[in-house]
Structure 1
Amino acid sequence: MTTPTVDVHAHVLLPEVDALVAGLPGRTAARELDARRNGPAALAVNGPMVRERVPRLTDVAVRLAAMDAQGVDVQLVSPSPSHYHYWADQETAEKVYRLANEATAAHCSAAPERLRGLGLVPLQHPEQAVLALDHALEQGLTGVEISTHAPGRELSDPAYERFWSRAEDTGALVFLHPFGCTLDERLDQWYLSNTVGQPAENAVALSHLIFSGVLDRHPGLRVIAAHGGGYLPTHIGRSDHAWRVRPDAQGCAHPPSSYLKRLYFDSLVHDPHVLRELVRVAGADRILLGSDFPFDMGTEDPLADLRAAGLSDTDLEAVRGGNASALLFTE
Structure 2
Amino acid sequence: MTAHAPEPGAAGRPQPGRRSSSNADAPPSPTVDVHAHILIPEVEAVVAGLPGQAEARDLEARRNGPASLAVSGPMVRTVFPRATDVRLRLAAMDAQGVDVQLVSPSPSHYHYWADEETAEKVCRLAAEATAAHCAEAPDRLRGLGLVPLQHPQQAVRALDQALEQGLLGVEISSHAPGRELSDPAYEPFWARAAATGAILFLHPFGCTLDERLDQWYLSNTVGQPTENAVALSHLIFSGVLDRHPELKLIAAHGGGYLPTHIGRSDHAWSARSDAGANCAQLPSSYLKRLYFDSLVHDPHVLRALIGAAGPDRVLLGSDFPFDMGTEDPVGALRAARLPDADFHAVRGGNAAALLGLT
Please state which band the TM-score falls in when normalised by the shorter chain.
over 0.9
Report whether the alignment pairs 1:128 with 2:128: no
Partner residue of 1:275?
302
Report whether the alignment pairs 1:71 with 2:97: yes
* 1:2 to partner: Cα distance: 2.1
Paired with 2:161 and 2:256, the residues of 1 have a C-alpha distance of 29
In the alignment of these two chains, the number of paired residues is: 331
Report whether the alignment pairs 1:314 with 2:314: no
Paired with 1:246 and 1:186, the residues of 2 have a C-alpha distance of 30
Alignment match of 1:208 (pick from 214, 226, 234): 234
Partner residue of 2:128?
102
Determine helix, strand or coil for the equivalent of 1:144: strand
Amino acid at match of 1:102: E
Amino acid at match of 2:61: A
Partner residue of 1:259?
286
Paired with 1:30 and 1:124, the residues of 2 have a C-alpha distance of 14
State the TM-score, normalizing by the size of structure 1. 0.99
Q: Percent identity?
A: 80
* 1:330 to partner: Cα distance: 5.6
Alignment match of 1:161 (pick from 183, 187, 199): 187
Report whether the alignment pairs 1:297 with 2:324: yes
Which structure carries more helix by proportion?
A: 1
Paired with 2:357 and 2:139, the residues of 1 have a C-alpha distance of 14
Alignment match of 2:263 (pick from 219, 227, 237): 237
1:154-201 alpha-carbon deviations (Å, 9 max, x no partner): 000000000000000000000000000000000000000000000000
Paired with 2:335 and 2:118, the residues of 1 have a C-alpha distance of 45
Paired with 1:10 and 1:223, the residues of 2 have a C-alpha distance of 16
Partner residue of 2:11?
none
Alignment match of 1:47 (pick from 73, 90, 103): 73
Partner residue of 1:227?
253
Alignment match of 1:5 (pick from 31, 34, 39): 31
* 1:328 to partner: Cα distance: 1.1
**Runs of 4+ off more than 2 Å:** none
1:102-132 alpha-carbon deviations (Å, 9 max, x no partner): 0100000000000000000000000000000
CA RMSD in angstroms, aligned pairs only: 0.7
State the TM-score, normalizing by the size of structure 2. 0.92
Partner residue of 1:115?
141
Paired with 1:198 and 1:279, the residues of 2 have a C-alpha distance of 20
Amino acid at match of 1:285: D
Amino acid at match of 1:268: L
Determine helix, strand or coil for the equivalent of 1:249: coil
1:189-215 alpha-carbon deviations (Å, 9 max, x no partner): 000000000000000000000000000
Determine helix, strand or coil for the equivalent of 1:247: coil
Partner residue of 1:33?
59
* 1:25 to partner: Cα distance: 1.6
For structure 2, list consecutive stretches of 5 or more residues without a partner in the other structure: 1-26
Determine helix, strand or coil for the equivalent of 2:325: coil
Alignment of 1:163-178 (within 5 A): 163-178=189-204
Partner residue of 1:137?
163
Amino acid at match of 1:281: A
Paired with 1:71 and 1:139, the residues of 2 have a C-alpha distance of 28
Between Structure 1 and Structure 2, whose CA radius of gyration is higher?
Answer: 2
Alignment match of 2:49 (pick from 23, 26, 31): 23
1:29-62 alpha-carbon deviations (Å, 9 max, x no partner): 1001000000000000000001000110000000
Paired with 1:49 and 1:161, the residues of 2 have a C-alpha distance of 38
1:212-264 alpha-carbon deviations (Å, 9 max, x no partner): 00000000000000000000001000000000001000120000000000000
1:47-96 alpha-carbon deviations (Å, 9 max, x no partner): 00010001100000000000000000000000000000000000100010
